[in-house]
Amino acid sequence: MFEYIKGIVVDLTPTSVVVETSGMGYFLNISLNTYSQLSGHNEAQLYLHQVVREDAHLLFGFINANERGLFRHLISVSGVGANTARMMLSSLTTSEIQSAIVSSNVKVLQSIKGIGAKTAQRIIIELKDKLGKETDISEFSLEENNTTKEEALSALVMLGFSKNSVLKIINKIYTANLNASVEDLIKLALKQL
């Protein structure tokens, strides 16, 4: 399984990007959100999701792990394919989709092209509990592109700690130690958990 790709942006359109790395160009399907974040950049690191079909092997690229995670949740719903999930991520931000699902707002989901009432209800029924347990990314007080805090948070959550309690501690530690590395944040947080 591919995790991410890092390389030179050779071609960028609102629905796709070609990233060259080690002499090979990789065609990635992307959302409009990812496109807007990549615009004006010559290099990129995108998180990947591979879809293997009988007739094609497709790569989908995402600007961050949160967008990819939501994409994976969406395609786990019966009747929601990769292109529909990409359309959803192009129409709304990840936090808007998450809050619509958690608050059971069918109208917001129906406003997306290709999502009818039944599909919107199915998405809410199947994902409400999963996404309700996760903290909405808009509630994080992470600065944009602050991967140090994101990586430390992710590592501690993977170790089994509650996302909400970890987030508070990470924010407090980072505010006191702005130049702390991921390892430092994790070590200091573990002492307080």
The pLDDT confidence band at residue 161, using thresholds 50, 70 and 90, is confident
User: What is the model's pLDDT at position 144?
Assistant: 39
For 80-129, what is each residue's pLDDT tens digit?
Answer: 999 999 999 999 999 899 989 988 999 999 999 889 999 999 999 999 88
**Could you give the dihedral angle defined by the CA atoms of residues 75, 79, 85 and 88, in that order, rounded to the nearest 10 degrees?**
-140
Say if residue 73 is in the same domain as residue 103.
Answer: yes
Say if residue 8 is in the same domain as residue 49.
Answer: yes
CATH number, domain with residue 79: 1.10.150.20
The pLDDT confidence band at residue 134, using thresholds 50, 70 and 90, is low
| Residue 140 Cα distances to 17, 88, 135, angstroms | 28, 22, 8
Say if residue 22 is in the same domain as residue 74.
Answer: no
For 20-72, what is each residue's pLDDT tens digit?
Answer: 999 999 999 999 999 999 999 999 999 999 999 999 999 999 999 999 999 99
User: What is the model's pLDDT at position 140?
Assistant: 40
Domain boundary among 133, 148, 171: 133
Quote the number of domains for the chain. Answer: 3
pTM score, two decimals? Answer: 0.68
Domain boundary among 133, 152, 167: 133
Question: Smallest Cα–Cα separation from 137: which of 185, 98, 90?
Answer: 98
